[in-house]
Each structure stands twice: as structure tokens, then as C-alpha cells.
Amino acid sequence: MKLKEEVNKVIQTAFQKTGIDAQPINVSEATKPEFGDYQFNGAMALSKELRKNPREIASGILENLDLSGIVSKAEIAGPGFINLWLNDNVIAEKCREAREDKRLGVSKKSAPIKVVVDYSGPNMAKQMHVGHLRSTIIGDTLSNLLEFLGDEVIRQNHIGDWGTQFGMLIAYLEERGEDGSGSLKDLEQFYKDAKKRFDEDEAFADKAREYVVKIQGGDEHCLNLWQKFIDISLGHCEEVYDKLCVRLTREDVKAESFYNEDLPEVVADLAEEGRLKESEGAQCVFFEDEEIPVIVQKGDGGYLYATTDLAALRYRANILGAKRISYVVDARQGEHFRQIFKVAKMSGFVPEDVKLEHVAFGTMMDKGGKPFKTRDGGTVKLIDLLDEAVVKAKAAIKEKDDYSEEEVERLAKIIGIGAVKYADLSINRESNYIFNWDKMLSFEGNTSLYMQYAYARIQSIFRRYRGEIKGSVVITDVLEHRLGVMLLRFEEVLDRAAEDAAPNQITTYLYELVTLFMRFYEQNPILKEGVDEEVKLSRLVLADMTAKTIKQGLDILGIDVVDKL
RNA sequence: GCACUCGUAGCUCAGCUGGAUAGAGCACCCGCCUUCUAAGCGGGCGGUCUCAGGUUCGAAUCCUGACGGGUGUACCA
């Protein structure tokens, strides 16, 4: 059920009766409560075309407006706005229905598609660092969201497991005569040590290069070591995913190496089509309108990032059958994606009707507005950041109330990790943002804890009430009305967020919803004495619907709720 | 140099498919706990939406230019 569409229809019908052939009708949410629930601004736009005063057009529509259904009141305001109020009874009934529905009244897409979401993509040679946070959680949210709306989502974790650094790592592993299980515990250190050897010892470096050739040539011994290394490394990533409550699994891994055999094919196919041109020894695809080409094969015959990405695009569109392929990758790679998308489309690697998008995001900055680093200038390990979030949450919880040790432990994880994720997801993904512990864990304003707190308060009402929550909704005041409308807008918010791949549209909505509920709850007693039974039941239903919406919304963001806080 | 991107309250950010008097949170000031969790709620203070033009009935939003910040600019990923 899409509220907005229903309102659009009412206006549409009025237009038909008026005899005006209007373009697609699109009402928008009212900018202020005193302007009703929705507003229609089309009269002004039509005024020139029809050579009529916009207020005149508006009043023509008003005369033909059906006020017996979802819209119950309409007014002309200002230069020709039509403000629309929705019918209390209709809202009430829809809320009741939605609450009894598992999907909260959110319909599944009538024409679902296959979507590939490429996200996280850690490098197997190193620990995951804060730079991986955004890709991982934005990608996961987008996947959850599309899945909830009915699309078939194929998560793809394009891990970096192929390249010169692996020769170096294996050489070092060999040299130390270990099987890796011990020394790889601290991957970061292992990488650093190996790098040091590589830089200092020429013989070691040569050996490392030999290993690269061996791996790529399929040498069994080297491949075994390499595989072992990847397994351990992936295990580290999974530890992070687990902490982050991200739903990526090993099945979603489709590593760079997977496309290895297809790379010569990619180049050959491009050559066959006559798209390749040699330039300074490298094989390139040039564009008519751009100076810088895409290089698909180096002068020494090696392949590049772009080659692998083209192979991956082809695989995803043709073998996996995706109709939308979303890359959740740092904005700095915008140029790269713009170019390979162009090549993929013009070479026919990807059919015309497949939507390719770079879901770009900005960089995480420190307080001074510089890229987020440790004090000594290194990258901040993601696992350390998450652990710190939990520690800080723990401190905040202890300060507030006395819980048992296990309870503190459990809550701190949910709250701390939720805070990190929410703080990130609530920012418009394209802008850079300043990472700030104090703000993140201050738990005021638009934060995960505010949502979790509201959820817990509602659960507390139910614990006190004990009875079954069942009944119809009666709207008795303006806050109830607004809460009802807000709850019913959930679907259109999700649709739009999915379309724009914008998690912050969900957080903004949840924040507005919770703020509204807090006010409603403050002013409208539920279980207190003197509340009419029917009103009590109705308010319980609204409270329950609010809780369920918060839970569902946070679930899409990959954040848990707690029953008690 | 060229390209992309951002510039909104003291701070951190929404809003950007054009709509009415530009919104939050923090900070600061004031009020609300013997009654459903005060990690809450209400009120106040705070803005020439970087600047200059343009398009439009209407511009924070679209276009052009300037200034300022960030990023990218062929054999890394």
C-alpha cells in the first residue's frame, strides 16, 4: 500500500473530471503540519500552459475532489497550493491492517529483479581498516533493503587476493618455515615484516617475484600456501563481519582470482571488436571525448584492476543475470567506474538494459578534517575501532544503571556497534564526514540509541500491560493522526531509499518517527488511569506498530534492538 | 592545467527530481520527574543557505562564472 499513490489517484481523478490533461500527478509530503499531510503544487506549474490563474485551476480541482475516501479535507493556500488532509478513519484502519501484517503493510515489488551488490572488498594482504567500514555497512544495508523489498540480491565480496604482494607474503611464510596458523594472528605485523624483508633484501625480493609467477602458473605447493593464507585472512574478516552484524558470508566471496582465466578473453574480445589500441606499449580502450584511456593490459603483458572489473561486470550481467549492479566503493574511484561502465556498455559486455551504478561514498575524517588515522599516522584497524566502541558503550551503561556483567556485555555490543553503524549510515553517503566518538556515543539526537531507547520504552509498556494487543485504532488527536500517517509512509521511504541507494533516508525517517512518537507518548497516556479502554487499546496498537517499524528499519540497517535498556 | 565533488546556525549535519516563514542535534539560557524508562519532553537564543549573475510566477535546490576546501588525473587496487 503506497499512501502517496493513493493520494495521487484522488487528484488524478479530480483532474479528469475537470477535463484538464495533466502530466503525471505527484503530491509531496506537506512541509509543515499546518499545511496538512500532503500537498499538491501542480496548479502553479500548469498556470502558464493553461493561461489561467493558478488559484482558479486549484479551485477547479477542489470542486471535483472526492473527499469521501482517503482525502477528507483540502484547502487552497498561497499562490495555488492545494493542501490535503487524510481521513482519520482511513488512516486508523490502514494502521491496524499494517500492524497485523508481517511486512508492516510494505508490499513486495511486483517486478523484482536480480541485483548484484558489490561491497566490502577487503585486501587479503592486510587487516581491514576504517576505510572498509563504509563500503561494508552501506553495501549491507542496500542489500538488506532490496531484499526486503523483494529483489533477488546477490552479494559479492570482491576480495583482493591476487597480486604481487602475495608472492612476498608466501616467500616470508616459507622463510619462517611455518604453516602460517601461528604467525598470521597479527596480519598487519606479518605484512609489515614481510614488506621490510622485501625492501631490504634483494634475494628475498627476487624469491617473492618467483612465487608470484609460480602462483599464477598454478604451482600446487604455492597455491596451497596461498590458499591457506587466504583462509586465515578471510577468517579475520569474518570476525569483523560478525562483530559488525553484517550478513556477508563465505558464499558471497568472489575473489579477484576468480576472474583470472577470463582476463585474456576480455582483452581478446575487445581486440576482436577493434576497440583496442596500443599506446606506449599498453593495450588501451580510448574514448572519443576523453583523453585518458582505460588500460586493459600493461606493457609487460600483465592485467589490471580495470581488466578484472570488466570480467566481473560481464560475469555479473551475463552469468548471474543481474539487471542492476551496484558498486559500493569510495567516491575517489568515480572516474574508474565511469570509464569501465562505458567500456562495458559499448563493447556489449553488459546489455543496455542493465543498470550500472557506482554507489559512491565520502571519506571518514578526523576532528581536524584530515583523513582518519592513528596518532602515529597509521590506518586505524576496523576491529580496534569496533572494540573501542563496545568499551565506550560499556562505560556509558555502567554509569547509568546497574546491570549484571553478562547484561552489560550484551547491551554494550548492541549499543556500541549500533552507534558506529548508525552514525555512518545517517550521513548522506556522498559527503565526507567527521568521525567523532563523543558525538557518536553521546546518544542524543539522531542516534541509534535514541531509537533503541524508544523501542525499549515501548516494550516496557507491554510488559506492564501483559494483555494481548489487539483492536482497532481510533484517532483522537492531531499527534495520533500524524503518527499514523508517518507510520504508513514507511513503504514510500524504503522505496525511495532503495532507488537512491541512500541509507540516510531511512535514518531520517526513523528519527522523525521516533521524535513524533516521543511527543505522542508524552502527551497521550496509555496505561494511566482514566484512559478509555478503546483508546488504550488503540494507543497500544499504535505503540506496537511504532516499535515494529523501528525494529524493521534498524534491521535493514543491520542494527539490533533491545527490550530493556 | 583539466575533470569531479563539497561550501547551509558557534560546532556536527538534514533538506537538493524547484514550492509557502530554510530544519535537527550539540553548545548556551529557561521550564517539566510522588503517575507508562528524564539516555525523555516543551520553550528560548542562533542563518544575507560562500559570492555574483541567469532561468522561473517561485531558487539553498537548476544553469554560468568567481572564491575557498577535498579528490582524481594511463600501465597500483
Ordered DSSP codes for A151-218: -EEEEEB--B--SHHHHHHHHHHHHHT--STTTTTTHHHHHHHHHHHHHH-HHHHHHHHHHHHHHHHT
pLDDT at A179: 63
Strands A81-86 and A71-77: antiparallel
Last residue of a domain, one of A86, A104, A121: A86
One domain for residues A550 and A463: yes
Q: Same domain for A460 and A547? A: yes
Residue A136 included in any domain: no
Helix (H) or strand (E) holding A81: strand A81-86
Is the model more confident about A95 or about A184?
Answer: A95
In a domain, residue A482? The reply is yes
Bigger pLDDT: A271 vs A190: A271
C-alpha cell at A502: 541512500
- pLDDT tens per residue, range A355-396: 999 999 998 887 777 777 776 667 788 999 999 999 999 988
CA of A320 vs C1' of B22, distance in Å?
Answer: 46
- Cβ-based contacts (< 7 Å) between A 440-479 and strand B: 442-446, 449-450, 453, 456-457, 459-461, 464
| Mode of pairing for the β-strands spanning A290-297 and A282-287 | antiparallel
Residue A222 has pLDDT above 90, yes or no: no
Q: Which residue has the cell 551488490?
A: A117
> Residue at minimal CA–C1' distance from B35?
A528
Output the pLDDT for position A199: 84
For the CA of A505 and the C1' of B68, the distance in angstroms is: 29
Least confident of A39-48, A98-107, A163-172: A163-172
| Residues A82, A178 share a domain | no
Strand pairing class (A282-287; A276-279): antiparallel
Q: Select the more confidently predicted residue: A93 or A438.
A: A93
Task: Tell me the per-residue pLDDT of A514-528, one tens digit each, with 9 for 90 and over.
Answer: 999 999 999 999 999
User: How high is the pLDDT of residue A288?
Assistant: 85
Which of A86, A107, A126 marks a domain boundary? A86
Q: For chain A, what is the domain count?
A: 3
Examine residue A303 and state whether it is found in any structural domain, yes or no: no
Q: Which nucleotide in the DNA or RNA is closest to residue A305, CA to C1'?
A: B77
Across the range A176-201, mean pLDDT stands at 75
**Does A192 reside within a domain?**
yes
What is the pLDDT, as a whole number, of residue A549? 98
Q: Do residues A167 and A81 share a domain?
A: no
* A416 strand B contact, CB < 7 Å: no
Dihedral sign computed on CA atoms, order A280, A283, A289, A291: negative
Q: Name the nt closest to A292 by C-alpha to C1'.
A: B74
CB A54 within 8 A of CB A47: yes
| A528 within a domain of the structure (yes/no) | yes
Angle at A456 between CA A455 and CA A461, to 5 degrees: 100
| d(C-alpha A156, C-alpha A317), whole Å | 13
- Considering only residues 488-507 of chain A, list those whose CB is below 7 Å from strand B: 496, 502, 504-505
The answer to whether residue A146 is domain-embedded is: no
Strand positions, DSSP E, A226-352: 276-279, 282-287, 290-297, 324-330
**Which pLDDT belongs to residue A557?**
97
Is the C-beta atom of A138 closer than 7 angstroms to strand B?
Answer: no
> In chain B, which nucleotides are within 7 Å of a protein Cβ?
4-7, 12-17, 19-20, 23-27, 35-42, 56-58, 69-77
Predicted confidence (pLDDT) at residue A50 exceeds the cutoff of 60 = yes
Write the pLDDT tens digit of every residue in A289-335.
888 999 999 998 889 999 999 999 999 999 999 999 999 999 999 99
Q: Are A142 and A117 in contact, with CB atoms under 8 Å apart?
A: yes
**Which CATH number do you get for residue A23?**
3.30.1360.70
Distance A28 CA to B60 C1' (A): 19
In a domain, A221, yes or no: yes
State which residues between 151 and 180 of chain A bring their CB within 7 Å of strand B.
Answer: 160, 163
CATH of the domain at A533: 1.10.730.10
At A254, the amino acid letter reads K
**Domain limit, last residue, from A216, A248, A280:** A248
Residues A459 and A546 in one domain: yes
The DSSP line for A433-466 is EE--HHHHTT--SSSHHHHHHHHHHHHHHHHHH-
Better-predicted residue by pLDDT, A153 or A401: A153
Terminal CA-to-CA distance of chain A, rounded, Å?
33
Average pLDDT estimate for A104-123: 96
Domain containing residue A230: 163-248
- Rounded distance in angstroms from the CA atom of residue A13 to the C1' atom of nucleotide B67: 51
Asked whether residue A125 is domain-assigned, the answer is no
